[in-house]
Amino acid sequence: MLPGMINKENFLSENIFEKNISTEPLRDGFGRGLLKLGMKNPEVVVISADLKESTRCHWFAEKYPERFIETGVAEQNMAAIAAGLGISAKIPFISSYAVFSPGRNWEQIRTTIAYNNSNVKIAGHHAGVSAGPDGATHQAIEDIAIMRAMPNIKIIAPCDSIEAEKATIASISVWGPMYLRFAREKTSVLTAEKTNFTPGKAYIMFDTSSGSARKEKKPQVLIIGAGPILYNALLAAKELEDEKIGTIVLNSHTIKPIDDKKIIELTKKCGAVVTVEEHNILGGLGGAVSEVLAKNYPAPMEFIGIKDVFTESGNYEQLPEKYGLGVKSIISAVKKVIKRK
C-alpha cells in the first residue's frame, strides 16, 4: 500500500503517484453515467444547448433519442423546459459549458428550477481554466459561487472521470436541483471503480500519520480540495511527507451541503487548513470551509485558487502554474499556514 493511503475501502488508484498515471476527461464519465441512467430509469431526460458532442450528451442521444431534447443556443429555454419536466416526475439533465449554464441562464435556474425545487441536474462543463485556449470568456471561475448562494441547490465537483460517472448516477438519488461541475481536458484518474462515493460525504485520500511501517505522527495541516486540481494537492502532500511535514488530503467533492462534521473533526486533529480549488478564492470551496470553521472551530487557513482575476488563454498544463494552483504553490501555502498555528 502506498504511503498515506489509509482508507482501504476507498481503493484509490494504485499508480496515483506514478508518471504513467492514466488520464481521461471528466465529461467522459458524465456521458457514461447518463447511459447507465438511461438504461435503468426511463424518467431520465437529457437536454443540450447545441453542445451535445462536447459535453458527451450525444452518447445518450444516439441510444435514447426519444428522451433527448436539443434546444439549440438557448440556455434560458433549456432551463425553463427542464424546470417543467422536473416537477412532472421526470429527471432532466441540462448540459452546456459552465459559462453558459449556469452562467448565462442563472436567472432561469434561480426562478424556474431552484425556487420551485424542481428535480433538475445541471451539468456545467469546461469549468475552471480547463478551457485553456478559449480564454476568460469560456473559463468559468465563478460558477460555484453563483450556485452556492442559491437556495435548494446542491453542488458536486468530481475529482476525476470515475468520480464524475458516480456523481452523475448518484445525483438522481438526491431530490432537487443539483449542479455537477466538470473540467474539459484530460485529467489524472485518481480513484478506482471500488472507491466509495456518497454525495455529501467527504473522504480522506492521503494521510501521512497512517501506515504500517511508521509510528503514529500527528499531521500538521489539513488540505481540502475538490475537482481535478486535487491531483496537485496529492503531489504536494507526497513531497511534504518527504520533508517530514505531515498532512491529510480530504476530497470534499460535495461543496454544498459540505461535510462540516468531517472538516471540523480533521481540523481539530491538524490545527490548520489549506483549501485547493480551480475557482475564484471568493465564494467557492475555500469560502464554504471558512464559513464552517469560523462558526465551529476557528483555525489558520490559506486559500489556493484564482486570486479574483480574470484568467487568460493558454495551455492547460501552464495555466494552473501561472495562477498559483501548482504543487509548489500548495507546498508554500502549507508551510505558511504552519507558521500561523
Q: Which residue has the cell 438522481?
A: 172
Give every CB contact of residue 100 below 8 A, 6+ residues apart in sequence: 49, 75
CB atoms within 10 A of CB 196: 12
Tell me the three state secondary structure of residue 261.
Answer: helix
Greatest distance between any 2 Cα atoms in the chain? 59
Q: In whole angstroms, give the CA distance from residue 15 to residue 162.
A: 15
List the grid coordinates of 297: 472551530
**What are the contacts of 295-300 at 24+ separation with CB within 8 A?**
296/260, 296/264, 297/264, 297/267, 297/268, 299/267, 299/271, 299/272, 299/273, 300/271, 300/272, 300/273, 300/337, 300/340, 300/341
Total residue length of the chain: 341
**Please, what's the b/e burial string for 138-175 (b: 16 or more CB within 10 A of its CB; e: otherwise)?**
bbbbbbbbbbbebeebbbbbbbbbbbbbbbbbbbbebe
Give every CB contact of residue 136 below 8 A, 6+ residues apart in sequence: 310, 311, 312, 313
Out of 70, 75, 165, 216, the active site residue is 75
Tell me the three state secondary structure of residue 288.
Answer: helix
Strand-pair category, 254-256 with 154-156: antiparallel
Catalytic, 75? Answer yes
Beta bridge partners of 204: 250
List the grid coordinates of 39: 438504461
Catalytic residues: 75
